[in-house]
Amino acid sequence: MFLTVTTTGTPEHPATDLGFLLHKHPEKAQAFSTSYGRAHVLYPEADDQRCTAALLLEVDAVALVRRGKGKGRGGAPDAALAQYVNDRPYAASSLLAVALSAVFTSAMRGVCHARPELPSQPRPLRIEVPALPARGGPALVRRLFEPLGWTVTVDPVPLDARFPEWGDSRYVRLELESTRLTVAEALRHLYVLLPVLDDAKHYWVASDEVDKLLRAGEGWLPQHPEQKLITSRYLSRRWSLTREAMERLELVRLAETDDSEVEDIDNAVEAETETEEKPTPLAVQRREAILAGLRATGAARVLDLGCGQGQLVQALLKDPKFTEIVGVDVSVRALTIASRRLKLDRMGERTASRVQLFQGSLAYTDKRLKGYDAAVLSEVIEHLDLPRLPALEYAVFGAARPRTVLVTTPNVEYNVRWESLPAGHVRHGDHRFEWTRAQFRAWASSVAERHGYDVEFTPVGPDDPEVGPPTQMATFTQRTEKEAKAA
């Protein structure tokens, strides 16, 4: 298997910077052992104007069979000879993807201690893969790579050039070019999409593959138009893993959206109607209402579920009455931004002991969420498809069961008051629904009844006499055992 990465340079940014980014010196040829053979990294050309790094993977067909993958697709044994004579030594596949990850680990993570400014800089890149299995043909290759910013040249490889009437094989020659991607982004694209195009993996796909997919797909997979196909093929069409990955990707979109968008159109809309006395943004009013609601319950240990980039966690930390604050989000990227916002690495020991951030999906029960005084779901539920709400409901109200739960969500009736919002549109492109006051009350009341809570409703923002407030908040309070029996 063979793959090359080429970049060009300028006097200020020589092409040989590629060596720093890949952590492989251009003047050396290096070899690395893998479970299935030997990977070689070499530079066919390397000067200030143009630099090419090549990855050559020599596959040991015997080792591949002995490690348990001498099976055909669907689990049926191959013919005896086919276990050793096949396309694996030549055609890019999950074998090459794993080699990319093993050989260029730091490059894929975007880490370069020698030149820390380099990984975040886009570069002119050209990637060539001479033989790539593409189950779906050239059209699928373009559908996968073009949305990521690549210019794609894909040429089908004929079954036999001497007999054109035989048609094309399932293999293509692939060339990718871009000027606006980083090396780390390019490697992560290849790591995910090479096995997707082959539609096969050379190893058993376990549950940790979901985490690998989300790590490599961070920043691009949640918005990819072929997300479902990519996820299904990458996880070898294992339905349970695919469902888990799709649910986690669905929640990632909330955290990966810019903060000004995540909080709907609050600041943008109100900036248009700014007067001499600037109004308090709705996002700030919402946080103040949540803080007031939590203080009224006497809660000390609080969960921020779907914490995003940590704005509410930051506000909670300012009040010493909140002795333990936990931010939970499905997106590693969002949690990283939250950590920077909170300055966790520079926080004093006493303050740091009050806060923690961890990754988790609200669609699944999590024993780490049990035993808290209160939980907050601020502008979260509307980002889920309606069929997924029962899963979140059970995870929060049925399994975690905090004494108090505060839920905020937009009031769709108020949308007519936003002058810049077209009629019939929701406030944010990722909102799967926006409820009227009656719909929200009906949902909240049914949730409270099913799980032994009482619920009260509070307007957030100006309470218009005709259409109500822009945001609606429900406060769920767990009934005592006596109250539950009486109910």
* Mean pLDDT (10-residue bins), the chain, 487 residues: 92 92 92 85 94 91 60 42 63 85 91 89 94 91 94 91 86 93 94 92 80 90 92 90 85 52 45 51 92 96 93 94 94 85 86 92 91 95 91 95 96 85 74 93 96 96 92 94 62
* pLDDT the model gives residue 1: 80
Q: Beta 404-410 vs 374-378: how paired, if at all?
A: parallel
Render the burial of 17-46: b for 16+ CB within 10 Å, e for the rest. bbbbbbbbebeeeeeeebebbebbbbbeeb
CA angle at 479 for the pair 478 and 480, rounded to the nearest 5°? 120
SS3 205: coil
**Cα-based torsion angle of the residue sequence 143, 148, 149, 150 in order, rounded to the nearest 10 degrees:** -60
Around 217, how many Cα atoms within 13 Å sit in the side-chain half-sphere?
A: 29
H runs (alpha helix) in 23-104: 61-64, 94-103
Going from the C-alpha of 248 to that of each of 166, 204, 211, 243, 362, the distances in angstroms are: 44, 22, 10, 9, 9
H/E stretch holding 37: strand 37-46
**Cα-based torsion angle of the residue sequence 169, 171, 173, 176 in order, rounded to the nearest 10 degrees:** 130
CA angle at 337 for the pair 400 and 397, rounded to the nearest 5°? 10
Q: Give the pTM.
A: 0.54
* pLDDT the model gives residue 315: 94
Look up residue 381 and give its DSSP letter: G
**Tokens, residue 281:** 């943004």
**How many residues are present in the chain?**
487
Which amino acid does the sequence have at 387? P
253 with 383: CB under 8 angstroms?
yes
* pLDDT the model gives residue 79: 45
Which amino acid does the sequence have at 338? A
* pLDDT the model gives residue 89: 66
Cβ-count burial of 254 within 10 angstroms (0-12 exposed, 13-18 middle, 19+ buried)? buried
* pLDDT the model gives residue 69: 45
Sheet holding 471-478: strands in order across?
A: 355-359, 324-329, 301-305, 374-378, 404-410, 471-478, 453-460
Which amino acid does the sequence have at 464? D
380 with 362: CB under 8 angstroms?
yes
Closest CA to 294 of 404, 212, 453: 404
H runs (alpha helix) in 320-470: 332-342, 349-352, 389-393, 437-451
